């Protein structure tokens, strides 16, 4: 199997999960993956980037297409994503894949995150955005538009959260989707957290691959769902105690 086929298979699996969970209405959600592939330029045509990304010069990405449905991406990754290579100045890209698909409307945020990752040389290669219903619901409650309060709720609701997401999520107050403001705020949040929570919109996660990006948001979606289910029957959950959380932090897994 070629490396591109391996990446397409993972894209299919994760896009299908996002759709089945109801986290990807219409064309909601997008992702980008830094890949080690390089092949013949399809069109030879260069497209301008909204600003130069010098740290990303000569790098190749697979990115979901603008306006594409997650369920169509799951069915046919090749037709609904685009592989592109950034030029040596970091200010243009050329499409390598057969399908001439326009990259996602959230491209500025994706590239800004990959630039930040390149500068710190950590091992994240995948960036994922999704409209996780449970998480969005809680950001409509003013009290939870507070990073510390949100993270304490997440950690208290389920042992997995403190074990796998010990630094919690970074909260990003509402900004327009696709804007440079939301790109800057998301990069700030992801410098210290593996997940950025977008008020009244969704979530971004970063990891070494797409499945790991999915796992991160799946864990916090679960914790939030437990909280909301207790609230729905009229009682706020007891939550794990400080002592229980301290013990969980020390577990080797
Ligand atoms: O891809 O989710 O935020 C569509 C979106 C924009
Ligand atoms: Zn979105």
Pairing status of strand 169-172 against strand 195-198? parallel
User: What domains lie within the chain, and their CATH numbers?
Assistant: 1-107 (3.40.225.10), 132-253 (3.40.225.10)
Q: Is 199 helix (H, G, I), strand (E, B) or coil?
A: coil
Confirm or reject: Cβ of 194 under 6 Å from ligand 1. no
pLDDT at 38 over 80: no
Chain position carrying tokens 């679960």: 222
**Mutation probe of ligand 1 site: the residue of 63, 68, 129 with most atoms within 8 A of C-beta:** 129
What's the pLDDT band for 99 if we cut at 50, 70, 90?
confident
Chain centroid to Cα 190, Å, comes to 10
pLDDT for the residue 252: 77
Choice among 10, 13, 106, 199 that is catalytic: 106
**Over the chain, what is the mean pLDDT?**
95
Average pLDDT of span 45-49: 91
pLDDT for the residue 42: 61
pLDDT for the residue 229: 98
Which stretch of 14-18, 42-46, 50-54 has the lowest confidence by average pLDDT?
42-46
Ligand 2 centre distance from Cα of residue 237 (Å)? 29
Confirm or reject: Cβ of 179 under 6 Å from ligand 1. no
Q: Are 52 and 90 in contact (CB under 8 A)?
A: yes
Rounded Cα distance between 207 and 90, Å, is: 23
pTM of the model: 0.96
Confirm or reject: Cβ of 65 under 6 Å from ligand 1. no
* pLDDT per residue as tens digits for the range 164-221: 999 999 999 999 999 999 999 999 999 999 999 999 999 999 999 999 999 999 999 9
Confirm or reject: Cβ of 175 under 6 Å from ligand 1. no
The more confidently predicted of residues 18 and 4 is 18
13: annotated active-site residue: no
Percent residues over pLDDT 90 in the chain: 91
pLDDT for the residue 1: 55
Picking from 234, 213, 231, the residue whose alpha carbon sits closest to that of residue 23 is: 213
Rounded Cα distance between 32 and 139, Å, is: 25
Beta-strand ranges (E) seen in 10-155 are 30-35, 46-48, 60-64, 81-86, 92-95, 126-130
Q: Is 89 helix (H, G, I), strand (E, B) or coil?
A: coil
Ligand 2 centre distance from Cα of residue 136 (Å)? 11
Q: Are 175 and 168 in contact (CB under 8 A)?
A: no
Rounded Cα distance between 212 and 205, Å, is: 9
């Amino acid at each position: 199997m070629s490396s591109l086929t391996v990446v397409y298979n993972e894209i299919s699996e994760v896009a299908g999960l996002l759709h089945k969970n109801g986290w990807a209405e219409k064309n909601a959600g997008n992702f980008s993956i830094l890949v080690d592939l390089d092949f013949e330029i399809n069109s030879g045509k260069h497209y301008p980037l909204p600003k130069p990304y010098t740290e990303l010069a000569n790098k190749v990405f697979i990115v979901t297409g603008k306006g594409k449905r997650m369920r169509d991406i799951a069915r046919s990754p090749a037709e609904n994503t685009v592989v592109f290579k950034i030029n040596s100045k970091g200010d243009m890209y050329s499409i390598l894949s057969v399908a001439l698909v326009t990259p996602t409307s959230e491209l500025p945020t994706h590239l800004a995150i990959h630039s930040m990752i390149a500068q710190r040389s950590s091992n994240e290669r995948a960036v994922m955005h999704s409209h996780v219903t449970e998480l969005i619901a809680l950001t409509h409650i003013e009290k939870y538009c507070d990073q510390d309060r949100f993270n304490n709720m997440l950690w208290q609701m389920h042992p997995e959260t403190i074990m796998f997401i010990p630094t919690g999520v970074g909260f990003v107050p509402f900004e327009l989707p696709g804007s440079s403001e939301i790109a800057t705020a998301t990069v700030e949040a992801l410098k210290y957290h593996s997940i950025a929570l977008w008020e009244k919109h969704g979530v971004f996660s970063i990891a070494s691959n797409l499945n790991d990006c999915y796992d991160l948001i799946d864990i916090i979606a679960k914790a939030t769902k437990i909280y909301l289910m207790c609230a729905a029957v009229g009682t706020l959950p007891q939550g794990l105690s400080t002592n229980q959380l301290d013990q969980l932090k020390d577990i080797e897994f």
